[in-house]
């Protein structure tokens, strides 16, 4: 009798399981037909985000293209010069280049002569990045790979005479990092785009001849783990044909099981549709969003592409970068930190230094970051800011400044008989006592500054708390 009930329950569970489990966690054992997505947002938005992305937490963004040649102002150089016609760009050109020099003339000067993809990949790995996103094509339309539909405006025909996207991808993957491709849907001055624009985007000449062939080409050639879409804002997703592309990407592409995309697929899609959300650039929510998101930001606060007129005051400090990373992860986001290499393919030392500082911090505190989950409380502020993360039964309290009296007050964790407290990077238990009222007081180790595990932002690990 008992056995039979168990049997019936098992059967019921199996039936329910078959109905309710659209995803295969163990592909070889799974017999469910793969789920198909249809080319509409309700269906595409229902796809679970592949798990690697949330676990990765930290990535490096690379803005590199012909804009790295004038390397002045920002990667929007061409637009600001010829679109907006800003006078400072006119005079910059007059003072520094021969008369009648065109933006196209910068192309051959994008040499990438000292580009060693392995050195870049070593740096990004040392920075603690789990993924790297490269601009394959920015709004200028120049492709960093031999696109067959970007005639004489690609990195094989012109400039480097190399497949930059392919070479970097190999180096990144040799180090077990994930590889993401940034791609701009629009191109400021492409004649077909301008023609569609003149037609109020009722025609799709540009999408048919350029955008879609290149997106499919990128996916088939490089099998990206992530597509970082941009340049969507002038037209609806129906113009871009985004939902058709995404349905193919999710159903039939060679990366259907691993690929992650963002939310820039058409006017008004951002923060509403797609994979994870970027919302606007440098987006930084105050409270825990209910959808996976990523903050992208740049070490040079004024530009994503390299610019020669960068000043020290424009560079984000180590403490700003590290505290943004902590805040982002605590609020459930990923942190994508940008650098712009030079036209020669060099990464200037100030960017290297900032990236290595993140790597050094993560080498001690990574346990509280990678594969962590937001805790039930995100932050507290008393004498120092505290950001929480969690993993399994451990709760991590990351505090940004060392309290003057050496006592860290935490209000939110509820202690139990088994509560234990350690600090990442230090091999011993820390003393604690109940906080009068609520939470606990942690007696931080009394160490000379040189013996502290990091110079800024330390992690207290709590177990046996609720
Ligand atoms: C620049 O272009 C103008 C108009 O096409 C032409 O008259 C002029 O000779 C050109 N100047 C040089 C230095 O090539
Ligand atoms: C949009 O996608 C559909 C399905 O792949 C395709 O049949 C159609 O030709 C595409 N339109 C454009 C403009 O690319
Ligand atoms: C996007 O939103 C704006 C403002 O709400 C609206 O005017 C516009 O028509 C929308 N565009 C699309 C493609 O839905
Ligand atoms: C602030 O922290 C101190 C210890 O550093 C603690 O004594 C005090 O109770 C805390 N105040 C609040 C409001 O948490």
Question: Of 27 and 253, which is predicted with more confidence?
Answer: 253
CA of 248 to the centre of ligand 2 (A): 11
Q: Which architecture characterizes domain 49-368 according to CATH? A: Alpha-Beta Barrel (3.20)
CA of 241 to the centre of ligand 3 (A): 17
What are the tokens at 245? 């592309």
Residue 82 is given by DSSP the state: I
Region 22-47: mean pLDDT is 76
Domain limits, CATH 3.20.20.80, in the chain = 49-368
| Nearest atom within ligand 4 for CA of residue 411 | 14
- Among 203, 241, 266, the mutation site with the greatest number of ligand 2 atoms within 8 A of its Cβ is 241
∠ CA 122-127-132, rounded to 5°: 75
Query: Is 442 in contact with 436 (CB distance < 8 Å)?
Result: no
- Examine the pLDDT at 5 and tell me if it is beyond 90: no
Question: Of 448 and 210, which is predicted with more confidence?
Answer: 210
| CA gap 95, 92 in Å, rounded | 5
- pTM for the full predicted model: 0.92
Query: Helix or strand or coil: residue 338?
Result: strand
- Examine the pLDDT at 148 and tell me if it is beyond 80: yes
pLDDT band for 25, please (50, 70, 90 cuts).
Answer: low
CA 112 to chain centre: 24
pLDDT band for 31, please (50, 70, 90 cuts).
Answer: low
The tens digit of pLDDT for each residue in 317-342 reads: 999 999 999 999 999 999 999 999 99
pLDDT band for 34, please (50, 70, 90 cuts).
Answer: confident
Q: Which architecture characterizes domain 379-465 according to CATH? A: Sandwich (2.60)
- Residue 62's pLDDT is what? 98
CA distances from 365 to 357, 383, 401, 403, 455 (A): 12, 21, 15, 19, 12
The candidate with the shortest Cα–Cα distance to 408, out of 451, 439, 375, 379, is 439
Task: Name the closest-CA residue to atom 11, ligand 4.
Answer: 382
CA distances from 179 to 182, 207, 290, 296, 402 (A): 10, 25, 26, 16, 37
């Amino acid at each position: 009798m008992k056995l039979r009930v168990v049997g019936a329950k098992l059967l019921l569970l199996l039936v329910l399981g078959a109905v309710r489990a659209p995803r295969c966690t163990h592909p070889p054992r799974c017999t469910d037909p793969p789920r198909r997505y249809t080319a509409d947002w309700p269906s595409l938005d229902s796809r679970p985000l592949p798990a690697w992305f949330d676990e990765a937490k930290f990535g490096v963004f690379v803005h590199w293209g012909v804009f790295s040649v004038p390397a002045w102002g920002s990667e929007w150089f061409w637009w600001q010069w010829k679109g907006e016609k800003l006078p400072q760009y006119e005079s910059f050109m007059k003072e520094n280049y021969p008369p009648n020099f065109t933006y196209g003339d910068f192309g051959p000067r994008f040499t990438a002569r000292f580009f060693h993809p392995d050195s870049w990949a070593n740096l990004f790995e040392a920075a603690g990045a789990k993924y790297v996103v490269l601009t394959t094509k920015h709004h200028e339309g120049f492709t960093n790979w031999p696109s067959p539909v970007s005639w004489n405006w690609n990195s094989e025909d012109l400039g480097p005479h190399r497949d930059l996207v392919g070479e970097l991808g190999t180096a990144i993957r040799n180090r077990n990092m994930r590889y993401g491709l940034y791609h701009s849907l629009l191109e400021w001055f492409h004649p077909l785009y301008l023609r569609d624009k003149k037609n109020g985007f009722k025609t799709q000449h540009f999408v048919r001849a350029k955008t879609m062939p290149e997106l499919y080409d990128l996916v088939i050639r490089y099998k990206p783990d992530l597509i970082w879409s941009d340049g969507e804002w002038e037209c609806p997703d129906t113009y871009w044909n985004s939902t058709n592309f995404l349905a193919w990407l999710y159903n039939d592409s060679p990366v259907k099981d691993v690929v992650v995309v963002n939310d820039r697929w058409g006017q008004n899609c951002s923060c509403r549709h797609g994979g994870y959300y970027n919302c606007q650039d440098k987006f930084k929510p105050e409270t825990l969003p209910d959808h996976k998101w990523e903050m992208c930001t740049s070490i040079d606060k004024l530009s994503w592409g390299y610019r020669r007129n960068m000043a020290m005051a424009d560079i984000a400090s180590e403490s700003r970068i590290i505290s943004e990373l902590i805040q982002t992860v605590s609020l459930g986001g990923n942190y994508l930190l940008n650098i712009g290499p030079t036209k020669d393919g060099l990464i200037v030392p100030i960017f290297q230094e900032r990236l290595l500082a993140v790597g050094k911090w993560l080498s001690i505190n990574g346990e509280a970051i990678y594969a962590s989950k937001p805790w039930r409380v995100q932050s507290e502020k008393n004498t120092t800011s505290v950001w929480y993360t969690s993993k399994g039964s451990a709760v991590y309290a990351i505090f940004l400044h060392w309290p003057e009296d050496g006592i860290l007050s935490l209000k939110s964790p509820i202690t139990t008989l088994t509560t234990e407290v350690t600090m990442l990077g230090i091999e011993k238990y820390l003393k604690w006592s109940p906080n009068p009222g609520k939470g606990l007081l942690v007696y931080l180790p009394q160490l000379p500054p040189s013996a502290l595990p990091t110079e800024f932002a330390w992690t207290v690990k709590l177990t046996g708390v609720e």
